[in-house]
């Protein structure tokens, strides 16, 4: 029924992406395709279903690259622009399918409503504007996308509270700095874990590499992938060699089955 779950890494970069516009940093100048990272997002597919987690500014390019012709919904981790700025580009899906379901906590839904008021308005709709069907999700309450149950996992992104998602044996967390034990309990037993690792130096709102590896050691998944990566973490090939067994850097267009 639900298996195998196919996960496509649509983007694995931090908020500015890699390369950063105008940057002369060696990682930004790298010709290795694995050093080119769009803004962070994954496509979760099974049977005929396609859901994305987040919808950043590279959403259009990501949908084109992976030839996605039907989108069943968008799960939002939080409201930051690198996770939401592509929302207008749901238009082709909306024209073919009608209102696109979105799953977000109330605060995030309110923020989207302020920033994309023309998408959320009921009256005097601008011709050509897309529309969404809002599903408000809450801590401690699992929900369904298609025929799959999803467990939201609350984490802290400095002062912003974010949601990660557990889909059976697969858990996706990004923009995490700390996570409470009660929420961590919901992740144990996951076979594949994705978690953010920004760079080596500490950061106020993101796991650095050391914190991400410590977290993975605690959860003990069979496999772990790091995402939301800054150019400051270094060249993909070099960082990959330094990682413990079972832990990898994710890269754009990587596809895994869980």
Interaction site with Zn ion (CB under 5 A):
80, 82, 175
Q: What backbone torsions phi and psi does residue 39 show, to the nearest 5 degrees? A: -65, 150
Q: How far is the CB of 197 from Zn ion (least distance, A)?
A: 12
Taking the C-alpha atoms of residue 99 and residue 210, their distance in angstroms, rounded to an integer, is 42
Closest CB to Zn ion among 80 and 186?
80
Q: How far is the CB of 5 from Zn ion (least distance, A)?
A: 23
Q: Where are the alpha helices (DSSP H) in 48-172?
A: 59-65, 81-84, 91-97, 106-115, 117-120
Closest CB to Zn ion among 82 and 252?
82
Q: How far is the CB of 4 from Zn ion (least distance, A)?
A: 28
Could you give the C-alpha distances from 141 to 51, 77, 105, 144, 249, in angstroms and in order?
A: 19, 15, 11, 10, 31
Whether the CB-CB separation of 71 and 45 falls below 8 Å is answered with no
Closest CB to Zn ion among 131 and 160?
160
Closest CB to Zn ion among 166 and 206?
206
Of all residues in this chain, which one has the CB nearest to Zn ion in the complex? 80
Full DSSP string of 91-110: HHHHHHHSSEEEEE-HHHHH
Q: How far is the CB of 58 from Zn ion (least distance, A)?
A: 12
Q: How far is the CB of 158 from Zn ion (least distance, A)?
A: 9
Closest CB to Zn ion among 8 and 41?
41
Could you give the C-alpha distances from 183 to 5, 25, 105, 169, 225, in angstroms and in order?
A: 23, 38, 16, 16, 20
Quick one: which of 68, 11, 7 has its CA closest to 251?
A: 11
The residue to which tokens 């874990």 are assigned: 193
Closest CB to Zn ion among 46 and 207?
207
Taking the C-alpha atoms of residue 57 and residue 38, their distance in angstroms, rounded to an integer, is 9
Q: How far is the CB of 211 from Zn ion (least distance, A)?
A: 16
Q: How far is the CB of 154 from Zn ion (least distance, A)?
A: 14
Closest CB to Zn ion among 58 and 82?
82
Q: What is the phi-psi region of residue 108: left when phi exceeds 0, alpha when psi lies from -120 to 50, beta otherwise? A: alpha
Whether the CB-CB separation of 257 and 226 falls below 8 Å is answered with no
């Amino acid at each position: 029924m639900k298996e195998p779950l196919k996960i496509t890494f649509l983007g694995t970069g931090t908020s500015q992406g890699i390369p950063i516009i105008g940057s002369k940093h060696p990682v930004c100048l790298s010709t290795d395709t694995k050093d080119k990272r769009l803004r962070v997002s994954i496509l979760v597919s099974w049977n005929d279903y396609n859901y994305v987690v987040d919808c950043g500014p590279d959403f259009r390019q990501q949908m084109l690259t992976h030839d996605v012709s039907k989108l069943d919904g968008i799960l939002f981790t939080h409201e930051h622009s690198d996770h939401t700025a592509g929302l207008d580009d749901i238009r082709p899906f909306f024209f073919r399918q009608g209102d696109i379901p979105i799953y977000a906590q109330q605060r995030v839904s309110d923020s989207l409503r302020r920033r994309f008021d023309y998408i959320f308005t009921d009256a005097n709709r601008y011709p050509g504007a897309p529309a969404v069907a809002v599903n408000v999700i809450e801590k401690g309450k699992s929900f369904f996308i298609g025929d799959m149950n999803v467990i939201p996992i609350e984490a802290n992104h400095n002062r912003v509270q974010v949601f990660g998602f557990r889909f059976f044996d697969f858990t996706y967390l990004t923009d995490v700095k700390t996570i409470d034990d009660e929420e961590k309990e919901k992740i144990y037993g996951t076979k594949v874990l994705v978690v953010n690792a920004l760079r080596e130096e500490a950061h106020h709102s993101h796991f650095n590499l050391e914190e991400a590896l410590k977290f993975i050691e605690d959860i003990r998944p069979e496999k772990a992938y790091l995402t939301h990566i800054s150019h400051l973490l270094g060249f993909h090939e070099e960082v990959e060699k330094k990682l413990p067994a079972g832990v990898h850097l994710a890269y754009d267009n990587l596809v895994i089955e869980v």
